[in-house]
């Protein structure tokens, strides 16, 4: 059975809306949070150039580089190197995860303060 013209138009609009939503840039990040084995160990501002070595679980090491408002993994000693090949992250909520080292790098946004208080 062939789709009707209006069904094709609706499907096209839905696909276009999903593409716009997926490609819309997120809020710029303020810092990158480093978690090792579930515990936050350090937080580095994205506006200050930083190169730091991170000791992960099982003796694995990562080299985190923060520059130009983004963060990326320059070196990883884990076997799969997925974290090393990940693109730089800079928007609030973006993450780079190294499963063997149990390291999670998360970009955090600017603190917004209190919106409302309820009782």
For 1-41, the pLDDT digits (tens) are 666 888 888 999 999 998 887 777 667 888 999 999 999 99
First-to-last C-alpha distance (Å) of the chain:
57
Tell me, what's the pLDDT at 23? Answer: 74
CATH assignment, 31-108:
2.60.320.10
- Residue 108 reports pLDDT greater than 50: yes
For 80-105, the pLDDT digits (tens) are 999 999 999 998 889 999 999 999 99
Show me where the domains of the chain are located.
Answer: 31-108
- Residue 115 reports pLDDT greater than 50: no
Phi, psi of 30 (to 5 degrees): -110, -30
Of 30, 37, 41, 48, nearest to 94 by C-alpha is: 30
| Residue 108 DSSP SS3 | strand
- Residue 78 reports pLDDT greater than 80: yes
| Cα–Cα dist 15/38, whole Å | 37
């Amino acid at each position: 059975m062939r789709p009707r013209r209006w069904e094709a138009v609706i499907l096209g609009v839905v696909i276009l809306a999903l593409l716009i939503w997926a490609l819309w840039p997120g809020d710029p990040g303020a810092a990158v949070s480093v978690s090792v084995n579930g515990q936050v160990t350090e937080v580095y501002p994205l506006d200050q150039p930083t190169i730091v070595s991170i000791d992960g679980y099982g003796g694995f090491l990562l080299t985190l580089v923060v520059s130009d408002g983004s963060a990326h993994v320059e070196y990883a000693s884990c076997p799969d190197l997925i974290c090393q090949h990940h693109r730089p992250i800079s928007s609030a909520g973006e993450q780079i995860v190294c499963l063997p080292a149990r390291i999670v790098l998360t970009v955090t946004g600017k603190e917004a303060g209190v919106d409302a208080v309820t009782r």
